[in-house]
Structure formats: C-alpha cells, structure tokens
Homo-oligomer: A and B are copies of this chain.
C-alpha cells in the first residue's frame, strides 16, 4: 500500500534533503526512524529536494508498506524524530500516486529581515540596506511566464531542460515587518529561488534596472544574474496536488 506523509523540517542542521554519503540528510533521518518503527527497510520519495540549510514548512513524501497503518504512526514518528523534523498527516493513497510526479507545482517563500533581529538570524536573511520593494515587485512580474530560467540555474547540473512555468512571484510584508518573496512554479531549477532573490535584491538596491533584469532573464546565462541569497532564508512552503488524490487521511 502507498502512503503519503506531510511533514516539515528546519534545514539548519542538515546537508539538504537528499541522502548522501558521510553527511546527515533529512531523508536519511526519516527513513531511519520510519524503518525502525515499521521494522522493515523503508525508502521515501519526496516531492522535491531542498539544498543544504534550506527549510520546508510543508513537504510531502511517499513510501510503501504492506500493512494498514493508522495515525498512531504520526505520534510515534514525532517522538522518534529529532526536534527539527515534524510529521503532521498520513494519507492512504492509490497505488500509483507519486509524491514527485503527481505534484503540479511547488511554492517557496524567502524571508528578508530589513533590520537586525536577534530572533531571526537563523530563519531570515538579515539585510538592513534600504530596498525599493515596488521596483522588486515590478521586476518579479517579469518572471511570471513559461520560459527558460537558465539564468537562475546552477551550472553543470544534469537536468534536460531549463523550462519552468512560473505562476506567481511577488513580495509582501508580513506581520513581523519582514519582506517575504513568494514564488510558485511547476518546477524549480537547482538554486533558482536563491539566485532570483539575490538578483531582485540588486534591483531593490538600484544596481540593476527593470530592463536589465529582463535582459538577464533573456540571456539564459547564470553568470549574468546576481549572487545567490543565503540558504537559511528559504522555505518550501507548499506542494500542490490534485485534491482528488487525498481521499483517505488516516486519523
């Protein structure tokens, strides 16, 4: 039987989501605890990967297990997992449901604190130079399209195409006076959100004009764009699926 787990993690202490030799990863820790609880080697497949230090407020993974499970697993997992990983919901799915392939889009938030904040230096980018948010929003609108986002892709990766369909990209202020960038797309290239944020911040500083930002997109060349914003401000905040997939939450 196939199960989906909804979970969240603080990326601070992990070398990214994906399992790798000699470095601790979120995937490894979840697989280890789940395997111990179910007394069987369990592999999980996630909606996507997050890089070293990047967080997830809402991530989905799937795994297979031959017996019927109940929400009791949620409680057990939360007590076995470290403080920085939490699981919230368990769903029994159709056999062919797939956490990665069935995801229709992903949403990320990037947090910037415009003042020194003793409570968010690990969860937001502390950036206390003045930013023109209107200009940053004007530039962000240019990202909303289906197109080649190679300008914001990590070089030398093995993806076949840089085409992404960006459906939402804007800045807002939250209740803590932080600047929040929200972006939704069908898929993201490695390092894409951090490269976009780094470049939009240069727009906000007046170093890059809106026209130049548009040129950077068109050039499809990573070296044109600005530096990447730091990992610790970035959060995967949602993964969208067709609602029909989630018929059976186990309570």
Q: Is A78 close to B, CB under 8 A?
A: yes
What is the minimal beta-carbon distance from A53 to any residue of chain B, in angstroms? 13
Residue in contact with A118 in the complex, picked from B10, B116, B118, CB distance below 8 Å: B10
Task: Return chain B residues, CB-CB under 8 Å to A119.
Answer: 8, 10, 55, 57, 123
Contact A116 B78 (CB under 8 A): yes
Which label, helix, strand, loop or mixed, suits the secondary structure of the A interface? loop
A85 to B109, CA, bound (A): 26
Task: Return chain B residues, CB-CB under 8 Å to A78.
Answer: 116
Q: Is A121 close to B, CB under 8 A?
A: yes
Q: How many residues of A contact B (CB 8 A)?
A: 20
Contact B118 A86 (CB under 8 A): yes
- Given A55-B118, A86-B117, A86-B118, 15 more pairs with CB closer than 8 A: A8-B117, A8-B118, A8-B119, A9-B118, A10-B119, A83-B116, A83-B118, A83-B126, A84-B118, A84-B121, A85-B118, A86-B115, A88-B115, A119-B123, A175-B175
Residues of A within 8 A of B (CB): 8-10, 55, 57, 78, 83-86, 88, 115-119, 121, 123, 126, 175
